[in-house]
């Protein structure tokens, strides 16, 4: 079960770093939250909830493929959010 624990940690760290990057961007540019930055943070939080719910799903036939798909989805979501952060600057 260490694999599930590591996947949860990865989700937490990746999306946490993305939220931190949004805050750093806010400080560096406007000095205060903007509508766009708040939308990115909300999207990151929604992605976190969605991915953790998928990890905690009990009725999965092929667990290895399921967790691999979650990891791919995490990577895609992170890349999309990073692109949005870069567009803010």
- When the pLDDT of each residue in the chain is averaged and rounded to a whole number, the result is 92
Model confidence at 1: pLDDT above 70? no
% of residues, the chain, pLDDT over 70: 97
pTM of the complete model? 0.89
Return the pLDDT at 2: 55
Q: Of 88, 89, 81, whose CA–CA distance to 40 is shortest?
A: 81
DSSP 59: -
CA distances to 35, 41, 73, 81 from 26, in Å: 11, 12, 26, 15
Model confidence at 30: pLDDT above 80? no
Distance CA 31, CA 23 (A): 9
Give the sign of the dihedral formed by CA 14, CA 15, CA 16, CA 19.
positive
Structure-token pair, residue 30: 């406007």
């Amino acid at each position: 079960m260490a694999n599930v624990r590591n996947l949860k940690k990865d989700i937490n760290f990746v999306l946490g770093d993305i939220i931190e990057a949004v805050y750093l961007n806010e400080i560096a540019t406007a000095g205060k939250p903007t509508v766009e930055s708040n939308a990115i943070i909300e999207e990151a939080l929604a992605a976190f909830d969605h991915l953790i719910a998928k990890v905690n799903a009990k009725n999965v036939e092929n667990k290895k493929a399921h967790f691999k798909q979650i990891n791919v989805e995490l990577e895609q979501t992170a890349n999309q959010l990073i692109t949005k952060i870069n567009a803010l600057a």
